[in-house]
Chains A and B, each alone.
Chain A
Amino acid sequence: MVQGYWCLVLHNHLPYVRHPEYEDFLEEDWFYEAMTETYIPLISIMEGFLNDNVDFRITMSLTPPLCNMMADKLLQDRYYNRLSKLIELAEKEVWRLRGQEPFYSTAKVYENKFKQCMQLYEKYNRNLLSAYRNLLNTGKVEIITCNATHGFLPLMSSDRVRRAQVRMAVKDYETKFGRKPRGIWLAECAYYYGVDKILKECGIQFFFVEAHGILYGEPRPRYGVFAPIYTPETGVAVFARDMETAHQVWSADVGYPGDPDYREFYRDVGYDLEYEYIRPYLHSDGVRRNVGIKYYRVTGRVGLDKKEPYVPQWAINKAATHAGNFMFNREHQIRYLRNIFDREPIVVSMYDAELFGHWWFEGPDFLNFLFRKIHFDQNIFKPILPTEYLEKYPKNQILQPSASSWGDKGYYEVWLNGSNDWIYKHLHKCEELMCESVDSYHTNVLNGDTLKKRVLNQLARELFLAQSSDWAFIMTTGTMVEYAHRRTKEHVSNFLKLYHQLKDNRIDVQFLEWLEYKNNIFPEMDYTIFI
């Protein structure tokens, strides 16, 4: 008999990185790598479940920047070229390594994977959003949105600006998926008092918080993190993260991805192979970097030079074992919770989607085994979507969640510390000027001034892009910091320049066109979301 439910939430996000002004741009790799390693493989396993009648449930947040990149013709074509090159390299590798086991088997794995990616990519005419729309229609996958550009809501200057972020998300979701989003992923799970009111206004029914968002809520949560709650007055449902499952996958020492049989991320042919051979697959600057083919396994706590060769069969077996272990632990956890509760508990596991495939190469295989095992091998718990659980249990405790985030230490420090606190002065100023401009020029637009309308829309785009929490995050983590500085400065200075042109009534059309061409996120932008 079913004793409870498991809700898997995968957060799919990348900042909007698109540089038409360069033929080749390093940071665009984030998108191309995640496409090959995570997004396409995940779609592929979900389609596999459908073909084999495996009953599964996955909740996916697809952030607006990611959806906009997937829908962008330039990036679609660039990815096609990148993937073609990767296939060419994999084919060369299969030839080079013939007869050399276990390297040959691994090369074959890459060749097959890349070719399958291409097949799926072409099936959907290079636009993965079509694939997600299909999945959404099956009712087994819930796709939720995320506030506009993954802006960090608690550190914005006003509810008016926060509201615009959420409205943009809803608008974008509607154009991409043909209906309103039921749920939202607040960027970084960052909740602050009053955000639920905005969500309610936008018709959003549920969101997610870190465990202490509910545990530290008021009054005391009756079911801990194992049942949703409703926010007071607004009645938006809130689900909190289960720490046990987070720990099982993430922990540096007991987490699955660190297993010795799994692929080592840092030992890449981009560094290992002879320079002239690998050169055509590097960026145009010719600097050695990861290209995405790796032949070694984690091995243990040894140096990169001491890594042992990867054996695909061992890794697959290990993914199956780990899936079994994960399922066993859920059975145990859910059975126990059911004994102490007067209702069926829900265990919510939230992960960055890019963990599966990009960092943990075997992650998609793990999920593939896991859902199949859950379907065929046990009947203690079932996977579920948030809305399904709310239908089953519409009556829930009313509780004021605590302000929190899922970042390091659980609050806002990752996005507000000595490395990035300087950005808020500028962001807040732009937020203020955005509202002021909309108030001042909306009447002109209503009277037919289309140029001012374009300026207001572009101001909104520049502001949203500047607000991406990714820049503050990167400044904290300390890698690629220069790019994060550059993007923050770029969008703030574009904003200010355009604002002054608007105010002084001497709009430089060429400059505006340039910005519209370069920072083209949200083609459906409508600045009235700020009203």
Chain B
Amino acid sequence: MNEERKDLPTSVVSSRIERRIEFTPEITDLPRSYGDTKIVLLPRDPWWCFAYWEIGEKTMQEIRSIYGENLKFILRMYDVTNVDNFNGHNANKYFDIVVNVSANNWYINLPETNRSWCVDLGIITPDGKFVMIVRSNIVIMPRFGVSALTDEQWAVLQREFERLLELSGVQMIGKGSFDIAKLMRERWEELMAISQMPQFISSGFVSSFARREQQEVVPKEFFLKADTELIVYGQTLPDAKLFINGDEFKLTPDGRFSLRLSLPDGEKVIPIKAVSSDGTVKREIIFVVTRSSEQK
């Protein structure tokens, strides 16, 4: 479908510019590198990041002159969720990936969703020390999954919420896209597969969604609906930082907090941590709540 076009004269009379422009533009190949030393981190989806990098010649020479020719390059991925002013030492945690530096880019699979990340490109010295060459931007990952947080003003029962998610099509998220190009290509591939036209490579792939019957569940006469939710509340110094489940939570001007959480069956651990404004004092309280329901 992508036939070559016959080259045509490259000058025509423009409707905007009165005279003929005689100019043959050339599209040059793009530079392989820009001589920078940098690394950029991009989010792809909740589970994957993409990093690309470049090390300038001069920087590379300096590194080699200090650490020798046999260098082991790594990407150090820092979890910097809720970390203010990340400085290389205050990350929540990190992990390393050994890379071939000339690869220039890498797809990084993340161990956890809904976190923020920063990456250093650096080397590991023979004695095991990490030397950073360049640091990336910070990336907040796209969220995956339904939030555990409900807000009091707009609260809804767990079961109703589940129904609402279903009505909203939560089961179809990420199952496929609705775009014309893809639809057209798939139809074309399908047609080619069954049209007995051997000049085309056949591929009979047809996208499809699981069909779901939408059935109303209307309660009949007498019924019982019940659910539980969990309210976590407390107080600390107004200028302290408060973290619930690792996420920072905004305190009221007098230092109070109140949070409503969903409480499905099972065990739920809720760590609540307060850090003083100068970061020197920490207090933590951990709730372990178990819910089990039975119907009689």
**Do they bind each other?**
yes
Q: Which chain A residues have a beta carbon within 8 Å of chain B's beta carbons?
A: 20-26, 73-74, 77, 154-155, 157, 192-193, 211-212, 215-220, 222-226, 240, 242-244, 246-247, 249-254, 265-266, 283-285, 287, 289, 301-305, 333, 336-337, 340, 351-352, 354-355, 358-359, 397-398, 402-404, 406-414, 416-417, 421, 424-426, 428-429, 473-474, 477-483, 486, 489-490, 492-494, 496-497, 510-511, 513-514, 517-518, 520
Question: Is the CB–CB distance between A412 and B44 below 8 Å?
Answer: yes
Question: Is the CB–CB distance between B209 and A224 below 8 Å?
Answer: no
**B19-37 residues at the A interface, CB under 8 angstroms:** 21, 23, 25, 27-31, 34, 36
Contacts A252-B207, A304-B191, A513-B17: A359 and B180 contacting too (C-beta < 8 A)? yes
Contacts of B40 in A (CB 8 A): 157, 424-425, 428
List 28 interface pairs A-B (beta carbons < 8 Å), by A numbering.
A26-B3, A157-B40, A211-B168, A211-B173, A216-B146, A218-B147, A219-B151, A219-B154, A220-B149, A224-B165, A246-B178, A249-B178, A251-B208, A254-B211, A301-B190, A305-B195, A340-B164, A359-B180, A398-B151, A406-B178, A408-B177, A416-B44, A424-B52, A477-B182, A478-B185, A481-B2, A483-B2, A490-B27
**Residue B244 at the A interface, CB < 8 A?**
no
Distance between Cα atoms of A59 and B195 in the complex (Å): 39
Question: Is the CB–CB distance between A429 and B34 below 8 Å?
Answer: yes
Distance between Cα atoms of A24 and B206 in the complex (Å): 35
Distance between Cα atoms of A417 and B42 in the complex (Å): 11
Question: Is the CB–CB distance between B17 and A517 below 8 Å?
Answer: yes
Contacts A218-B143, A397-B151: A410 and B174 contacting too (C-beta < 8 A)? yes
Contacts of B42 in A (CB 8 A): 155, 412, 416, 424
Among the 9-residue stretches B7-15, B65-73, B92-100, B123-131, the one with 4 or more Cβ atoms under 8 Å from chain A is B7-15
Distance between Cα atoms of A179 and B176 in the complex (Å): 37
Contacts of A305 in B (CB 8 A): 195-196
Main secondary structure of the interface of B (DSSP, over half): loop
Question: Is the CB–CB distance between B154 and A496 below 8 Å?
Answer: no
Contacts of B176 in A (CB 8 A): 408
> Chain B interface residue count: which class?
35 or more
**Residue B60 at the A interface, CB < 8 A?**
no
Contacts of A424 in B (CB 8 A): 40, 42, 52
Distance between Cα atoms of A444 and B9 in the complex (Å): 38
Partner of B173, one of A154, A410, A417, A510: A410
Contacts A408-B179, A489-B30: A479 and B2 contacting too (C-beta < 8 A)? yes
Min distance, Cβ A195 to any Cβ of chain B, angstroms: 12
Closest to A240 in B: B168
Distance between Cα atoms of A391 and B34 in the complex (Å): 51
Question: Is the CB–CB distance between A402 and B142 below 8 Å?
Answer: yes
Closest to B6 in A: A285
Closest to A516 in B: B17
**B62-100 residues at the A interface, CB under 8 angstroms:** none
**Residue B43 at the A interface, CB < 8 A?**
yes
Min distance, Cβ B265 to any Cβ of chain A, angstroms: 18
Min distance, Cβ A360 to any Cβ of chain B, angstroms: 9
Closest to A478 in B: B185
Question: Is the CB–CB distance between A493 and B150 below 8 Å?
Answer: no
The 3 closest A-B pairs by CB, nearest first: A243-B169, A303-B195, A403-B142
Partner of B45, one of A157, A215, A409: A409
